[in-house]
Amino acid sequence: METVEKKSAVETYIEQRKSSDSEPICAYVYDLELLKEHATSIKESLPSFCRFYYAVKANPARELLQTLEPIVDGFEVASIGEIGKVSNVSGKPMLFGGPGKKDSEIENAMDHNVEYFNVESFHELNRMNYIAKQNEVTLPVLLRVNLSENVSESNIRMSGVPSQFGVDERDVQDLIKKAMELQNIDVRGFHYHAMSNNLDAHAHVRFVEMCIEKSLAWRDEYELNNPIIDIGGGVGINYWNPDQPFDWETLATGLSQCETAYKDENLTLFLEIGRYVTAECGSYVAEVLDVKTNHSEHYAVIRGGSHHLRFPAAWKISQPFSIYPIDEWRYPFERPEITDTKVTVAGELCTPNDVLVRKEYVNRLRAGDVLVFEYAGAYGWTISHHDFLSHPHPEHVYI
């Protein structure tokens, strides 16, 4: 990749660190103004029948939650831990999902600002009703559907394939009947989170249309109230070719067309967006410790690695990156470097799986230069195995 000028948040951090500390750079750097602008543009693009929830699992950092709080309509959470983190910064409503809710989590969630509970199975429905009855409350629920057909070519599919998520569409009618029999359950709609990192906006629009049609059919058959339709998230980041991002405008236009087409149905559409909201605002910044050639292939070893940023190793991809050149060299001997060739970027762990970049072209790369890994603001630090080999953690910088 070409050496390019970085955004000011990263530049500011690198310049300050190199002028004040000789330890190799290793940090997550977040541009909160960029996050604010991006989230605001998402919110403003949505038609009025949509509600914009942030999927906290993408990045639960307090500083990010505080930045998003004035913009989003609420938060999608998947544990009592996430509920606590949201409660510390916001009084806005939460949606509580996840395939393995514990009894204590369900009960504790009732004491927080959880607006709706996702039902993932018949057994969970029975447990929710039992707990709600003990607490003398009625739980508003969304029934999670595992659709019978695949809906996209996304990287991870949670619908149209066997999975631990939701109820098989063929069994949903029985689930509706069961829920309607329970005194402490109020069926408010359906949840369809079906994909992760989808890059096809047209497929996403078709998916929304399908969810609406199925929800309306079940509403009419079982005389339900006008349903909430939670389409989940799954809007992707193009890590392979960042110059061809997900076409958000196509999705926003499609949602507006759906609002017009179903204007007499009084529908509410929920979106739970995580990765697409926060990925671009965060960079993982790591200094090159060594550059070497091994069996005719070139390697750069960085301070850091997959124990900080697990995503590229887990998905076997190259994380998009750029090079921030550092001209100073403090040693009295030669500086290792490579030019006009492909490099594999590895971390400091004692495993060959600790790879963040796989054979990508660079004009020039030297020990002491700094690599800036882009789109690290989602599924970065909290999804990684921090303490393997007990290396120091990176800094976390919010600018």
For 99, the token pair is: 């395939």
Pairing of strands 94-96, 114-119: parallel
Contacts of 182 (CB under 8 A, 6+ apart): 125, 126, 129
In contact, 272 and 93? CB cutoff 8 Å: no
For 163, the token pair is: 């999975």
Other CB atoms within a 10 A radius of the CB of residue 352 amount to 7
Burial 319-350 (b: 16+ CB within 10 A, else e): bbbbbbebeeeeeeeeebebeeeebbbbbbbe
Amino acid at 243: D
Task: Specify the length of the chain in residues.
Answer: 399
DSSP designation for 88 = T
Q: Is 350 annotated in the active site?
A: yes
CA distance linking residue 339 with residue 93, whole number of Å: 53
Phi and psi at residue 294, in whole multiples of 5°? Answer: -140, 120
For 306, the token pair is: 């997959």
CA distance linking residue 270 with residue 95, whole number of Å: 10
Amino acid at 107: E
CA distance linking residue 305 with residue 313, whole number of Å: 9
- Distances in Å between the Cα of 259 and the Cα atoms of 209, 256, 325 are 10, 5, 50
> With the CA atoms of 316, 322, 328 and 331 taken in that order, what torsion angle do they form, in degrees rounded to the nearest 10?
10
Half-sphere exposure of 234 toward its Cβ, with a 13 Å CA cutoff?
A: 28
Catalytic residue among 50, 258, 281, 350: 350
CA distance linking residue 3 with residue 192, whole number of Å: 42
E strands of 69-207, at which residues? 74-77, 94-96, 114-119, 139-146, 156-157, 167-168, 185-191, 195-196
Q: Which residues are catalytic?
A: 350
